[in-house]
Chains A and B, each alone.
Chain A
Amino acid sequence: MIPELGHFALIVALCVALVQGVLSLAGAHLRRPSWIAVARPAAKAQAVLIVTAFVCLSTAFVQNDFSVLYVTQHSNSLLPLQYRLAAVWGGHEGSLLLWVLMLALWTLAVAVFSKQLPEAMVARVLGVLGLVAAGFLLFILLTSNPFERLLPGAEDGSDLNPLLQDPGLIIHPPMLYMGYVGFSVAYAFAVSALLSGQLDAAWARWSRPWTTAAWCFLTLGIALGSGWAYYTLGWGGWWFWDPVENASFMPWLVGTALLHSLAVTEKRGSFKNWTVLLAIAAFSLSLLGTFLVRSGVLTSVHAFATDPKRGIFILLFLVVVIGTSLALFAWRAPKVGLGGRFGLLSRESLLLTNNVLLVVACASVLLGTLYPMVIDALGAGKLSVGPPYFNSVFAPLMIPALFLMGVAPFARWKQASVAELARTLRWAFLAAATVGVIAPFFFGTWKPLVALSLLLVAWIVLATLLNFVGRVQATRAGGSFVGAAIKQPRSFFAMHVAHLGIAVFVVGVTMVNGYQAEKDVKMEVGDSVTVGGYTLRFNGVHTQQGPNYMAVVGDLDLLKDDRLLRAMNPEKRNYVSSGSPMTEASIDTGLFRDVYVSLGEPIDKARPEDAWAVRVYYKPFVDWIWGGCVLMAFGGLLAITDRRYRRHAAPVEVAALAQKA
């Protein structure tokens, strides 16, 4: 009964989404207040309906209702409760339901927090979101219904993929989807601006916090996925340039460009067309990501669907969304106008350079991701594009971007002077160069790439400090430094925190790539192996019973300078219901290094208690990679909570602002 209720809720939600889409847009176009008024209640009703559907599916999982096909495929009565809940989005159908749930929640947030926006604008934004929701609901109902019954019901389910039975999976997909789907709000704002022809600074200001919020979630979602891969795949890698990872990274790159471009549009009224194009691109890439991951084009832990009907539906949806928005853009954009002019060297031109670098980076990722699929689809052979391609393209693109990150905050809008910038920043640059040249000596061998990266890191940090101190001094007016510092707007802190996040991230990447050590060795009881100054002693293995698996647990001691630090217990699990094996690494996490151990396989399968192939890693500064991402997201959070978004401007005032601009 409960699954049918969920199914019914989805059908009603589709109807509501269509009403929300068509009536709101038509109402805004024909200026009919009664139709416009439908938008907000419809958005709320839709949220209630989809939450209902989601709760119904979760209930089926909690109650082990194996008469629901999807539950049977992705759960098992032995599965612990938290993983039964996470299993709701552990497969194709459920993860689409999660997608729609996120969309409904974003739509609800727009409906609730948009009191200061003109009603017609809200109606257009909600209308566009409604149409997107309708597309996805249609997809679910036609091709991927999670509530489909299995009659007669199965006795037990076939269990969740063991790789996914991990706390990381509980939060990674929702975070990532919040990011993906969040860009639909930026997209809806862009499309409604094109529809209304009102593309101005006010529009950029409304659109900005939503974009930033989506970007924060996406940043965290990607970081979580990377962390999850690091500790569950047993390879100790944090990024593989796997097509699925690339699918989430492309919207991030364009989203980052969009954040910067929106800043220019808000402050100077320039880049309007470009900003709109980026908003369309960010959402299109999110959809492309969904298509790549969900269509079965790719085969990986993320790819559930192999039904070609689904792939074709998403592809069609993609074509419709991109096609109509680009057509709309081509029709409307020429009317938008260019906005403020700016000099060859100005903050605008530096941010434009940042945008170009990010977009080119995204385009090169897109090339490397799609090319093998296109060649395969044409039947011209199988090939792959290796990580060396991405690495060799990324470094030269990101080096100038990191350098400019130090300069741009000092550059004036409209026209900046080289001499002035050089005067302000010369000492910072000299100091950074010194750090870059000297620092690598402390970590072992001197490597040119490490030196260059650390130079850029020191450069960003010093330039940030200088900019901060300079601005506080300028606004101090005789008061205390601290007092003036805390009075700075949050958006100012936000930028610097996010930039420092990048610096922290770069430290992690540089050190891991430059100085990690790994060893695959055979270990007999009593053997020791040393990596990066740490020694691991193998004392044998024992078996252990888990809730739904049997594990062989390695007993190892971690020593430094003959002093025992801790015991390490990597596991090799074998899941009962699916019979699939799974490696659980043991990691000693530290601020400056991780020591990572995982069990390979017994040397002699008949005598697993004797000797094992063991993988041991020393990973310097690896946690800084994710720490940097958290800092970036925190920067985003500061930006959203800036005072100017909290102020509830009277609608009249905003309307007047919109008219003026």
Chain B
Amino acid sequence: MIGGGLAVLGLVAALVLNAFQSNLVFFFSPTQVAAGEAPIGKSFRIGGMVKDGSIKREPDGVTLRFVVTDTEKDMVVAYKGILPDLFREGKGAVAQGKLGGDGIFVASEVLAKHDENYMPPEAAKAVGDAHARAAANKAIVEATAKTIRQ
């Protein structure tokens, strides 16, 4: 009886972990996607700021294209459906979907924010990392310039 019970529990654990493995959704910033780090054909999340003036509506009225940026690299996102209330140009956004062959990210879901000031943590991180890299680059450039001047 105990053996049987353990076997069943083992089976359940295997089932749970298997489902868990196959449903983890990873997050990538536009820079990481540009560097080819994101998986092809598997669902993942991207995030950053929605670029000003980038939202375009296709003739069917419900398919939209917009650009998500981490200030370093841009990513074109296509989404068919209705965007959340607080989705705006110049604000943070997170989208989940797959990368198409043409380099366009086809989103199945664009995440809703719950209030004005809230920046999705993933989006904040993407932009923050890009800024940090930019600052580091700037420091290197300045240091080099200094060395040359000397």
The answer to whether A384 and B61 touch across the interface, beta carbons within 8 angstroms, is no
Does A645 reach chain B (CB closer than 8 Å)? no
- Complex formed: what's the CA distance from A364 to B83 in Å? 31
For the complex, count residues of A whose C-beta is within 8 A of B: 44
The answer to whether A521 and B122 touch across the interface, beta carbons within 8 angstroms, is no
Does B103 reach chain A (CB closer than 8 Å)? no
Closest residue on chain A to residue B109 by CB atoms: A386
Give me the 9 closest cross-chain CB pairs, A-B, nearest first: A522-B61, A600-B82, A389-B23, A382-B27, A301-B114, A392-B19, A581-B85, A520-B81, A383-B26
Interface set, chain A 239-272, CB cutoff 8 A to B: none
The answer to whether A521 and B61 touch across the interface, beta carbons within 8 angstroms, is yes
The smallest C-beta distance from A540 to any residue of chain B, in angstroms, reads 16
Does B73 reach chain A (CB closer than 8 Å)? no
The answer to whether B83 and A600 touch across the interface, beta carbons within 8 angstroms, is yes
The smallest C-beta distance from B38 to any residue of chain A, in angstroms, reads 13
The answer to whether B20 and A603 touch across the interface, beta carbons within 8 angstroms, is no
The answer to whether A393 and B16 touch across the interface, beta carbons within 8 angstroms, is yes
- Complex formed: what's the CA distance from A611 to B60 in Å? 12
| A360 touches which of B12, B57, B115 (Cβ 8 Å) | B12
The smallest C-beta distance from B44 to any residue of chain A, in angstroms, reads 9
The answer to whether A396 and B115 touch across the interface, beta carbons within 8 angstroms, is no
A552-572 interface bits toward B, Cβ cutoff 8 Å, 1 = contact, 0 = none: 000000000000000000000
Closest residue on chain B to residue A615 by CB atoms: B82
- Complex formed: what's the CA distance from A235 to B81 in Å? 11
Residues of B within 8 A of A163 (CB): 114-115
The answer to whether A161 and B25 touch across the interface, beta carbons within 8 angstroms, is no
Q: Which of A163, A583, A600 has the most CB of B within 10 A?
A: A600
- Complex formed: what's the CA distance from A465 to B67 in Å? 59
Residues of B within 8 A of A583 (CB): 85
Does A582 reach chain B (CB closer than 8 Å)? yes
Q: Which residues of B contact A (CB under 8 A)?
A: 1, 9, 12, 15-16, 19-20, 22-27, 43, 45, 57, 60-62, 80-83, 85-86, 112, 114-116, 118, 120-122, 125
Q: Which of A299, A521, A583 has the most CB of B within 10 A?
A: A299
Residues of B within 8 A of A384 (CB): 24-25, 27, 45
The smallest C-beta distance from A497 to any residue of chain B, in angstroms, reads 30
A601-B83 in contact given A381-B26, A384-B25, A389-B20 (Cβ < 8 Å) = yes
Does A654 reach chain B (CB closer than 8 Å)? no
Does A344 reach chain B (CB closer than 8 Å)? yes
The answer to whether A613 and B62 touch across the interface, beta carbons within 8 angstroms, is yes
Interchain residue pairs with CB less than 8 A apart (14)? A163-B115, A300-B114, A344-B1, A382-B27, A384-B25, A386-B23, A392-B23, A396-B12, A397-B12, A603-B61, A613-B61, A613-B62, A613-B82, A615-B82
Closest residue on chain B to residue A352 by CB atoms: B5
The smallest C-beta distance from A91 to any residue of chain B, in angstroms, reads 12
The answer to whether B62 and A393 touch across the interface, beta carbons within 8 angstroms, is no
Residues of A within 8 A of B43 (CB): 386
Does A173 reach chain B (CB closer than 8 Å)? no
Closest residue on chain B to residue A603 by CB atoms: B61
Residues of B within 8 A of A161 (CB): 114-115
Does A368 reach chain B (CB closer than 8 Å)? yes
The answer to whether A522 and B15 touch across the interface, beta carbons within 8 angstroms, is no
| B82 touches which of A300, A396, A578, A601 (Cβ 8 Å) | A601
The answer to whether A581 and B25 touch across the interface, beta carbons within 8 angstroms, is no
User: What 8 additional pairs, Cβ within 8 angstroms, besides A385-B25, A579-B116?
Assistant: A299-B120, A382-B45, A382-B121, A384-B27, A522-B60, A522-B61, A603-B57, A613-B82
